[in-house]
Structure 1
Amino acid sequence: MIRLALIAVLALSLTACDQNMDVQPKYSGYSRAPLFRGSVSRPPPANIVARGDLERERAVATKPALSAALLDRGRQRFAIFCSPCHGAGGDGDGIIVHRGMPHPTSYHVDRLVTADDQHFFDVITNGYGAMYSYAARVPPEDRWAIAAYIRALQLSRRAAIEDVPADARASLTGQP
Structure 2
Amino acid sequence: MAVGERDGVRTRARILEAAQELFVERGYAGTSIADIAGKLGTSKATLYYHFNSKELILGALITEPLSLFAKLAERCAKERLSPEELLRALIDLTVETHAVNALLSSDPSISPVLRGMYDVEGSTRTFIHALAGPNASDEALARAWAAFAVAKQGAFWAVEAGNGTLSPAQKQEFLAAALRCLDQ
TM-score scaled by length of structure 2: 0.26
| Greater RCO, 1 or 2 (C-alpha within 8 Å, sep 6+) | 2
Q: If each structure's helix is expressed as a fraction of its own residues, which one has the higher value?
A: 2
Q: Which structure would you say has the larger Rg?
A: 1
TM-score scaled by length of structure 1: 0.26
